[in-house]
Amino acid sequence: MAQRANPREKALEILKHTEEGTFADSLLDQSRKDFDTRDNAFILEIVYGILRNRTRLDWVLDCFSAQPVAKTDIWTRNILRLGAYQMLFLDRVPVSAAVNTSTELAKTHGKKDRYVNGLLRNLDRKRATVIWPDPVDRVKQLSVLYSHPAWLVRRWVTRFNPDIAETLLRENNRPAPLIIRTNTLKTTRDKLKESLATEGVIAIETAYSPVGLEITSGAVITSLTSYRDGWFMVQDQAAQLVSLLLAPQPGETVLDACAAPGGKATHIAELMKDQGKLVALESDPARVRKISENSARLGITCIISVTGDAAAYRGEVFDRILIDAPCSGLGVLRRHPDGRWNKQEHTIRERQALQSKILENCADLLKPGGILVYATCTTEPEENEEVIKAFLDRQGVRFAIEDPRPFLPSEAARFVNEAGYFHTFPNEPSMDGFFGVRLAKKK
């Protein structure tokens, strides 16, 4: 019993620490060395599944509990979520195993094993009697069914409409596809696809990025020969398209102002054919090392990793600058489902001041006639259009928005609106939600 419960106990610990504010990704990375491939897959399924369905699980549990689950201690409520998730979402786990292992965990953590056992058994007997929120209150209904905070659901329902909002929420609850970007300095997409096939990995070409592949089945990425040889980097399609907005040229001097872990920096270097100079700026020294590691694996030599603050960095002037600005990250919630629980609505507005400061500083580092791309992985106008509008109100005599469509694949042109803004959200919910704008500095 103890051996079978071990992966569940690790999942429980991760859920508890995540609720306290630690990033789930880092906790999952730390746990991988202690478990085999099968157990790691189970832990990942449990942790991400519960984070994606937390409000829904709590709603169901509250239907059969004398007190709201939220009022129990942090161990007990996560044990209940763990048991309920297995019962409601994992057909391959017998109900008896879900109940018994949860009860055993409760004996050690929380000390409420009788409460856990009784509630989960009651849920199993009466699950068909659950009454869901009334559709009249659409925000509450969608918030519970798709487990997103009510403040975010309300924003999307108001900004779009309930049906579009529901589509976005549904897509956020699906596991994100595994997308890789071909390192064109070493190979082509076709050759990479053939190499992956020889190791039993099935990949299909991406619809929008000309160098992307979606991995649909196969081995652990880091074990592949093509990974070790630097033939690819993991990166979503939307992020790949952002680098194309910049359209860097060989021999230029380029700044990636918020560069870690180096996905866009290495893509820019590939577009430059590794000729010229690319300063990859990052404020966190540990993350700077990650840029250097990725560059070395990909065989890129033109990147210079620098520790520095993009809002205050002073140095040479650049032909092109990419600002992948720090943001609320609401466009990548499907990849980081814990993000929906550790962000608040005021976070959106608070980010705006830093984004504007970085943009103003980097504008001074750009040569006349140069190109600056401002991008985020968030969905909200306060961090996107409003930042650019305020910037142009101050700098309109020096900068203008330039149509980025000539630099994108024809299939991706529809992501650019009449104002020249690039949006993958809500235009393509199956991709990460990115915003981008191409700004030209007048000569």
Residues annotated catalytic, as ranges: 377
Q: Alpha carbon of 123 to those of 74, 85, 111, 331: distances in Å? A: 20, 11, 20, 34
| Pick from 442, 304, 437: nearest CA to 372 | 437
Longest CA–CA separation in the chain, Å: 74
Distance CA 431, CA 179 (A): 10
DSSP helix/strand/coil, 233: strand
CA dihedral of 132, 135, 140, 145, whole degrees rounded to 10: 50
User: Across 61-106, where does the E strand assignment appear?
Assistant: none
Which residues, including other chains, have CB under 8 Å from residue 113's CB and lie 6 or more apart? 103, 104, 106, 107
Give me 423's structure tokens: 């949006």
Which pair of structure tokens corresponds to residue 61? 């549990």
Give strand pairing partners of 129.
Answer: none
Taking the C-alpha atoms of residue 202 and residue 356, their distance in angstroms, rounded to an integer, is 43
Q: Whole-angstrom Cα distance, residue 109 to residue 199?
A: 43
Please report, as a single letter, which amino acid is at residue 210.
P
Q: In angstroms, rounded to a whole number, what is the distance separating the alpha carbons of residues 70 and 158?
A: 28
d(CA 118, CA 64): 10
Residue 437 CA to residue 422 CA, distance in Å, equals 6
Pairwise CA distance, residues 282 & 305, whole Å: 8
Question: How do beta strands 178-182 and 232-234 pair?
Answer: antiparallel
d(CA 225, CA 205): 20
User: What 3-state class would DSSP assign to 160?
Assistant: coil
Backbone angles phi, psi at 129, to 5 degrees: -95, 0
| Partner residues linked to 178 by β-bridges | 215
266 within 8 A of 294, measured Cβ to Cβ: yes
Kindly state the DSSP code that residue 398 receives in the 8-state scheme.
Answer: T
Residue with tokens 């979402």: 89
Of 138, 99, 94, give the one whose Cα is nearest residue 116: 99
Cβ atoms of residues 425 and 324 within 8 Å: no
